[in-house]
Structure 1
Amino acid sequence: MNASTERNIDQWFAHYSADHQNQGNQRIHVFAVPLILWSVVALLWCVPVPGSWFRQGLWAALAMFAAWSFYWRASRSLGLGMLAWFVLLAWLTRWLHGLLGTQQLLWLAVGVFVVAWIAQFVGHSRLFEGRKPSFLTDLKYLLIGPAWVLAKLYRKLGWKY
């Protein structure tokens, strides 16, 4: 995406927020989006790493770095917050991997992923929002969701993003 067609973070959040007006759906997202983010990190953590130069978690680290780069370019403040979040997710996943092993971590991540996505779709159903998820219009909204949740926390704390 070149600079002339790139949206700033406020434009992304405005569109994302328009699809998330219902308080119940917002509450679901505040819990489900971080769980989905962790489950993706954990799933990538379980992908075998060829050779002996790199350790388990390489694919997760590369994906987190790529996502973090997106956040950093969008907002330095959100980039720092997402960096802290990614470090926490990596630490948690590494700990769980050591405790459970690859196979059990994989099953846990799959379970969390499925349950969190079910929650997301319930939030977007007629029970709550009645609108389709934003990522169905643009896949970048899969990256915007975690930043939107973090920005909600920033606003609650009186911090600028």
Structure 2
Amino acid sequence: MNAASDATADAVTPRPIDVWFAHYSDDHQDPSNQLIHVVCVPAILWSVIALLWCIPSPGSWFLPGFWAGLAMFATWAFYHRASRRLGFGMLAVFVLMAWFTRWLHGIYGTQTLLYIAIGVFVVAWVGQFVGHSKLFEGKRPSFLTDLRYLLIGPAWVLSKLYRKLGWRY
């Protein structure tokens, strides 16, 4: 193959993140369900970070939030590999969520943070399932077909913001 045909093949072959988003979007056509996801997906993401923050850190060398930081780094690596621009956006999201979680932990302590995180987690998942119910979407959530969609949801929400701002991802 020559350089011209290589360029054509690259232009026709969608990036894996675009394939993920296309499949995810197929399960999220209803505007109300999309709005529910724009609110509930970040809430679930934050609640998972907060729940991980509440797990005691090993030894005395690590601060509270060690497990959350480890999970955010691993998840950020997934996003960064899929799309550098989305990776940097998700890094900003993780930093903001970590700061907020640290602030809440500092003011209220582990037990109250745990209760808040559980409450947000439950309410946001109820919202997600209402969005997928016959009232709105009427389709099963994507993660029931492939658990990786639990990682795609936050990036999909961020990509909607990018498109609204006219940014490429």
Task: Output one character per residue of 1:101-120: Cα deviation in whole Å (capped at 9) or x when no partner.
Answer: 00000000000000000000
Partner of 1:12: 20
The secondary structure found in structure 2 opposite 1:101 is: helix
Equivalence for 2:159 = 151
Spell out, residue by residue over 1:36-81, the C-alpha distance to the aligned partner (whole angstroms, 9 max, x if none).
0000000000001121010100000000001000000000000000
* 1:2-43 deviations in Å (ceiling 9; x for gaps): xxxxx7100000000000000000000000000000000000
Q: Percent identity?
A: 75
**Separation of aligned partners in 2, 1:108 and 1:37:** 13
How many aligned residue pairs are there?
155
TM-align CA RMSD: 0.6
Secondary structure of the residue aligned to 1:31 is helix
User: For residues 52 and 38 of structure 2, what CA distance do their matches in structure 1 show?
Assistant: 22
Q: Which residue of structure 2 lines up, in the alignment, with residue 62 of structure 1?
A: 70
Query: What is the distance in 2 between the residues matched to 1:158 and 1:42?
Result: 31
- List structure 1 segments (4+ residues) > 6 angstroms apart after TM superposition: none
- String of CA shifts for 1:99-142, please: whole Å, max 9, x gaps: 11000000000000000000000000000000000000000000
Q: Aligned residue for 1:128?
A: 136
Q: Distance in 1 between matches of 2:89 and 2:96?
A: 11
Specify the code of the residue in structure 2 equivalent to 1:110.
Answer: I
What residue is the counterpart of 2:7 in the other structure? none
Point out where structure 2 has 5 or more consecutive residues left out of the alignment.
1-14
In 2, distance between residues paired with 1:44 and 1:138? 23
**Counterpart of 1:114?**
122
TM-score, length basis structure 1: 0.95
> Which letter does structure 2 place at the counterpart of 1:68?
W
* Structure 1 counterpart of 2:46: 38
Flag the structure with larger Rg: 2
SS of the residue 1:130 aligns to:
coil
1:137 to 122, 142, 145: 145
Residue ranges of structure 1 left out of the alignment (5+ in a row):
1-6
Letter in 2 for 1:79: G
